[in-house]
Amino acid sequence: MVICALILFACACEANEGRDVTKGGPPAGVAQSNVTPDTIPAGVMPGIHERVILGDVKNPYTNSPAAAREGRQLFLMYNCVGCHGGRAGGGMGPSLRDSAWSYGSTDADLFATIVEGRPAGMPTWGGKIPEDQIWKLIAYVRTLRTPQEPDPPPPSIQPNR
């Protein structure tokens, strides 16, 4: 047993020969990584997907009542209600019924938020929800607080406009 330990120690010393092990850094033959916390966008899981939306992309379901109704069903099916409330009025997650948006309010911004997620709560849905359904979810969110909203809350519990 002692002989095995001495052989392993000798091999380890030989592997580090010519390298100052007190300086840190990767072992010989291993590349230094260029990834730092500053190079990874917040909310993006490295290796899972890349940014999908760049620029001002339009929702193909804008002003489609049928897509908004389907988006409402998707909102329930994907359990968006678990964080945003039954009619998107907020809860653990922010209200989607107001006009205050932390990460932008364009359709492209909303798409990016759903796909990439956001720090401190919004999960990354990219690769889990098809893009077509994401656009329908956005079509539903756009109807909130409008006469076109499918399944609006009763007037007695609607927030002040």
Query: What would the pLDDT profile of 46-62 be if each residue is shown by its tens digit?
Result: 444 445 545 677 899 99
- Is the Cβ–Cβ distance between 75 and 88 less than 8 Å? yes
**Total length of the chain:** 161
| Domain assignment of residue 119, yes or no | yes
Tokens of 128: 């889990």
| Domain assignment of residue 154, yes or no | no
| Domain assignment of residue 138, yes or no | yes
Q: pLDDT category, 44, cuts 50, 70, 90?
A: very low
The CATH number of whichever domain residue 112 belongs to comes to 1.10.760.10
Query: What would the pLDDT profile of 92-116 be if each residue is shown by its tens digit?
Result: 999 898 877 888 888 999 999 999 9
| Domain assignment of residue 105, yes or no | yes
Q: What is the mean pLDDT of the chain?
A: 76
Note the pTM of the prediction, 2 decimals: 0.62
| Domain assignment of residue 25, yes or no | no
Across 13-22, 39-48, 107-116, least confident range:
39-48
> How much is the pLDDT for 105?
87
The domain containing residue 141 runs over which residues?
65-147
How far apart, in whole angstroms, are the C-alpha atoms of residue 101 and residue 21?
Answer: 50
Give me the number of domains the chain comprises: 1
| Domain assignment of residue 58, yes or no | no
| Domain assignment of residue 83, yes or no | yes
- Which of 129, 118, 132, 112 lies closest to 50 in space, CA to CA? 112
Q: pLDDT category, 20, cuts 50, 70, 90?
A: low
| Domain assignment of residue 85, yes or no | yes
